[in-house]
Structure 1
Amino acid sequence: MDKHNSQSGVINEQRRQFLGGSVGIGLVGAGLAAGLMSAPAAATGAARKDDRMANYSADQLERVKLDLVPPPMVPKHDQIATGKPKVVEVKLVIEEKQVELENGTKAWVCAFNGSVPGPLIVCHQHDFVELTLVNPASNNLAHNIDLHSATGALGGGELTLVSPGQEVTFRFKATKAGTFVYHCAPGGAMIPWHVAMGMHGAIMVLPRDGLKDAQGNPLHYDKAYYVGEADFYIPKDANGKYKEFKTVMDSMQDVMDVMKTLTPSHVVFNGAVGALTGKNAMTAKVGESVLFVHSQANRDTRPHIIGGHGDYVWAAGSFTDAPQTNLETWMVAGGSAAAALYNFRQPGLYAYVNHNLIEAIMKGAAAHIKVEGEWDDNLMVQVKKPGAITA
């Protein structure tokens, strides 16, 4: 079988599974059409009558383009929305490529806009997100996107399945405020495989009047970072060395065999071991409040700032709920994203880790934050230097 026929066979199998194969997902054409016709009316009817911002249709609103940036950076945005909602235009281009996880160990990834994780999308509640998904002809696989912030049609997955050489555009209303995962979900076993190849990201839907504490007081952040945690499953050869594959299709079966063990070879932040350390470390200054958005599309995780805390934490991702306060570590469920706000009080190097320290230290789930400023002895001081033990 030549490469073209092999590729076509894989894509056809992806479509078969997505349209009602091994995972039991079936689409009824008339039902889907009816759902599409009734969705705007249903959304309007469910909106609170006193919330006029929820009642605009997309054709009444200004259109703006969101300039996406590679993580951990976050697109420029207003923390408090002004005026009417907007139609936020977003473009994601899928890139199938090989990356280095650490010290020559390589993995095939399917990357939204070339990065693992994909870029953070930012909008406000009641905005519309109009997303164009591009699958270049140079790719081998069919792809789509499921956004946990979207309502209906498998989070957009039903409306966005594209083969190599195709693009598709769809629009959804951001009805819920919070942080949410997005990922590829083309059907059947292709869903976990694509996610395990780094095909995931997050979207932050801010409340229109900004973040607030439990008493309704406004919360502000001076900067924001996006940390996307990913688990990789790299096979080993008979000599115990990590395998390298020439094409993404060559890697599929062996990677899936390792995935079935539920034991990742690597657990990393932002696509590689050490991706957020050294010259790529996050930065802050004493007195700055920093918002950290943390996602994990596949497995539970537990972010922790060594030497710091979560002053305000939306661990379940919902900005509608009051944040928890003063946490040492917070749990992020697999398939979700969380947000934590911390005001740095001391200078120095902070480690931002998954506090399963085996995964942090031995598998790669660790980052650094370099903080500049003046040391405060009232918060911490070395009372006595190391020396000989005295009676």
Structure 2
Amino acid sequence: MFTRRAALVGAAALASAPLVIRAAGAEEAPAQAAAAAPADLSSLPRVKHKLVVPPFAHAHEQVATGSPVINEFEMRIVEKEVQLDEDAWMQAMTFDGSIPGPLMIVHEGDYVELTLVNPAENTMPHNIDFHAATGALGGGGLTLINPGEQVVLRFKATRAGTFVYHCAPGGPMIPWHVVSGMAGCIMVLPREGLTDAQGKPVRYDRLYYIGESDHYVPKDADGTYRRYADPSEGYEDMVAVMDTLTPSHIVFNGAVGALTGDKAMKANVGERVLFIHSQPNRDSRPHLIGGHGDLVWETGKFHNPPQRDLETWFIRGGSAGAALYEFLQPGVYAYVNHNLIEAVHKGATAHVLVEGAWNNDLMEQLVAPTSVAG
């Protein structure tokens, strides 16, 4: 039997994999940096942000109001059990306690200064790899920290768009940490804000961040999902499921139904909503049933012209995209991964509750359902 003690011993062995990165990456990078003059950013103003739980985003300006700033963020790494569905739990590893991790928003040319904290009660080393950053494994080579440590990383946001961030502690730990919940998104807005394909300014009234994630929960012989005391205890069982490339769950924002019912996203007729959608591991096909992508930055990069009027768009694994839609009719809209098996059977479904007046010019029921003779 795979005991808790054996699991912790195994975790210690696994930790040697990320520590190789600390030796070959995090120690080499400072040695290289020592030969360069430190950047003097003392004249730049600082803006401290309080991160919020997705699908919501922290307060921000859509258009930069001045010269570049240093944006200060703090995230704590939280290892905890989460409930994926009525009958399924997972020992999760998270940024700030949520799946996905919080959305961070800055402007192109700004600096991101992140204090990453790995509390002593955690059991694993962790780090963060920003797809938006340049150098040192996206920051992963400079941020590897053991339980009881914290680190501060600063990078310049040189490219506008939506970008995934995730934990990447080395070797087999990388996919395990990612599918255990350690991924999120940063949005780097152009300083002038968003524009359409003709360069005209575009604004949004609401923003929602949908983090899609795939999970691999082992089952007993009778089909019951297994439950573990801590992340390391279920490692070998979970990797066996991961290696089948068949997720047990594919969900939005950390659980089946996390964005449905009384937790549905909300909007009003006439409002423009920007949907940010990330998937750190697998391809996805977002679709808004009853609506469209008025403007879609499918690859999430805002200096590329957006596509118009899409029915379904494509999010590559390891990336994030953005879609803007102005709601024209009230009702409950389903926002789904249009691999409908994944949406219906695995959990990749969200709802948007839209209030306002119905427009019969756009859609009208001309004859209500009646019985058919014969």
Shared fold (TM-score, shorter chain, > 0.5): yes
1:371 equivalent in alignment to 2:369: no
Q: Partners of 1:129 and 1:356 in 2: how far apart? A: 35
1:167 is aligned to 150
Q: CA deviation at 1:7?
A: 4.9
After TM superposition, list the pairs within 5 Å mapping 1:1-391 onto structure 2: 7-16=11-20, 18-19=21-22, 26-27=24-25, 33-35=31-33, 37-38=35-36, 58-389=41-372
- What is the SS of the residue equivalent to 1:123? strand
CA contact (8 A) 2:160 2:190 kept: yes
C-alpha change, 1:321 and 1:265, in structure 2 (3 Å) is same
C-alpha change, 1:31 and 1:14, in structure 2 (3 Å) is closer
Gaps of 5+ in 1: 21-25, 42-56
Q: CA deviation at 1:387?
A: 1.1
1:161-195 Cα offsets, whole Å, 9 max, x none, are 00000000010000000000000000000000000
1:63-91 Cα offsets, whole Å, 9 max, x none, are 11111000000111000001111100011
Q: Partners of 2:10 and 2:343 in 1: how far apart? A: 38
Q: Partners of 1:28 and 1:240 in 2: how far apart? A: 43
Structural RMSD (CA): 1.9
- What is the SS of the residue equivalent to 2:181? coil
Which amino acid in 2 is paired with 1:382? Q
CA contact (8 A) 2:26 2:142 kept: no
Structure 2 length as normaliser, TM-score?
0.95
Q: CA deviation at 1:143?
A: 0.1
- What is the SS of the residue equivalent to 1:380? coil
Q: CA deviation at 1:245?
A: 1.0
Q: Partners of 2:100 and 2:29 in 1: how far apart? A: 34
Which amino acid in 1 is paired with 2:157? A
Which amino acid in 2 is paired with 1:92? M
CA contact (8 A) 2:29 2:141 kept: no
Q: Partners of 1:30 and 1:160 in 2: how far apart? A: 13
Which amino acid in 2 is paired with 1:87? I
- What is the SS of the residue equivalent to 1:118? coil
Q: CA deviation at 1:10?
A: 3.5
C-alpha change, 1:364 and 1:376, in structure 2 (3 Å) is same
C-alpha change, 1:388 and 1:198, in structure 2 (3 Å) is same
Q: CA deviation at 1:59?
A: 2.1
Q: CA deviation at 1:40?
A: 7.5
Gaps of 5+ in 2: none
Q: CA deviation at 1:12?
A: 3.1
C-alpha change, 1:34 and 1:238, in structure 2 (3 Å) is same
CA contact (8 A) 1:10 1:141 kept: no
Q: CA deviation at 1:209?
A: 0.3
The alignment of Structure 1 onto Structure 2 pairs a total of residues equal to 370
Q: Partners of 1:363 and 1:211 in 2: how far apart? A: 34
Q: Partners of 1:8 and 1:374 in 2: how far apart? A: 60
Q: CA deviation at 1:58?
A: 2.5
1:51 is aligned to none
Q: Partners of 1:29 and 1:328 in 2: how far apart? A: 48
- What is the SS of the residue equivalent to 1:377? coil
C-alpha change, 1:28 and 1:13, in structure 2 (3 Å) is closer
Which amino acid in 1 is paired with 2:84? L
Q: Partners of 1:30 and 1:362 in 2: how far apart? A: 46
Q: CA deviation at 1:3?
A: 7.9
- What is the SS of the residue equivalent to 2:42? helix
CA contact (8 A) 2:279 2:319 kept: yes
CA contact (8 A) 2:72 2:112 kept: yes
C-alpha change, 1:28 and 1:374, in structure 2 (3 Å) is closer
CA contact (8 A) 1:73 1:226 kept: yes
C-alpha change, 1:64 and 1:15, in structure 2 (3 Å) is same
CA contact (8 A) 2:26 2:141 kept: no
Q: CA deviation at 1:61?
A: 0.6
CA contact (8 A) 1:69 1:119 kept: yes
Which amino acid in 1 is paired with 2:31? A
1:87-136 Cα offsets, whole Å, 9 max, x none, are 00011100101011111310011011100000000000010000011000
C-alpha change, 1:4 and 1:242, in structure 2 (3 Å) is closer
Q: CA deviation at 1:289?
A: 0.1
Q: CA deviation at 1:390?
A: 6.4
Runs of 4+ that moved beyond 3 A = 1-10, 26-32, 35-41
Structure 1 length as normaliser, TM-score?
0.91
